[in-house]
């Protein structure tokens, strides 16, 4: 999708967008598409090196951020306001895949780590975004949930718990900030191709003692209506819709981008 091909209602000219977890995967694709749509993007993440490449392609501002820390998230928004004077869109995308294993044997420490990043981290971003966007007269918050936030999957209890919770938080916060003109929605991607899923499948193959190719076919590609993975760019297009005026009456909703994994 090129800038020239965008319908004007999907343009983000004059908008400032914060994208957490912007260095790789879905976050990177969203930041790049938002920039092509005319937005000034603020790139947040824990690893500056991965953000630097995205800054080159987007002209974005890098703000190293650890969403587990409320103070770090406060500093992110302060930096965006200092540089641009406003924040219009927040993509609450930072997260981790969490431990892979049966609940009877899963690493409890890794389970807690997943909760800290995916749930408390998302809450920290929502907390500050709700205040800043409400004070600024409105905007769009996009929470990155998952197909695993709509139905449970074996060996992924920590991730499922956080993504189910984020759906409820989306609906609750949408009601809280709606009177201020702030929309809050969730995206629920299915299996998205990339390094993150490669790591998940490798861990699952080890835990189950099965070939990775068998797990991919049985659990990801062959069970989808389109018989394929989802591409990060496809998730980015849905995020652009929710960020834009095309979705001006859409709030408290969740959109699946899953190639038809019913």
Residues that are catalytic: 145, 159, 163
First-to-last C-alpha distance (Å) of the chain: 27
The CA radius of gyration of the chain, in Å to the nearest whole number, is 18
DSSP, res 60: P
The 182-189 sheet, strands edge to edge: 61-64, 40-45, 16-20, 89-92, 139-144, 182-189, 254-257
Distance CA 77, CA 64 (A): 11
Tokens of 85: 């004077």
Tokens of 244: 């834009």
């Amino acid at each position: 999708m090129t800038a020239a091909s965008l319908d004007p209602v999907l343009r983000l000219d004059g908008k400032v967008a914060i994208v957490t977890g912007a260095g790789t995967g879905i976050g990177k694709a969203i930041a790049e598409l938002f920039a092509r749509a005319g937005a000034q993007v603020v790139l947040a993440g824990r690893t500056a090196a991965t953000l630097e490449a995205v800054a080159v392609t987007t002209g974005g501002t890098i703000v190293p951020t650890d969403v587990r820390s409320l103070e770090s998230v406060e500093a992110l928004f302060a930096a965006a306001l200092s540089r641009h004077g406003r924040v219009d869109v927040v993509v609450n995308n930072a997260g981790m895949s969490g431990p892979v294993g049966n609940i009877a044997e899963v690493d409890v420490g890794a389970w807690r780590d997943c909760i800290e990043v995916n749930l408390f981290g998302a809450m920290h971003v929502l907390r500050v975004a709700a205040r800043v966007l409400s004070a600024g007269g409105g905007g769009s918050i996009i929470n990155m949930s998952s197909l695993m936030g709509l139905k449970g999957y074996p060996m992924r209890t920590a991730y499922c718990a956080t993504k189910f919770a984020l759906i409820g938080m989306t609906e609750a916060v949408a009601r809280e900030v709606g009177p201020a003109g702030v929309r809050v929605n969730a995206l629920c991607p299915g299996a998205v191709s990339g390094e993150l899923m490669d790591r998940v499948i490798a861990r699952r193959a080890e835990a189950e003692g099965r070939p990775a190719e068998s797990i991919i076919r049985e659990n990801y590609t062959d069970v989808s209506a389109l018989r394929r993975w989802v591409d990060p760019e496809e998730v980015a297009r849905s995020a652009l819709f929710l960020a834009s005026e095309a979705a001006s009456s859409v709030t408290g909703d969740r959109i699946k981008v899953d190639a038809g994994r019913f």
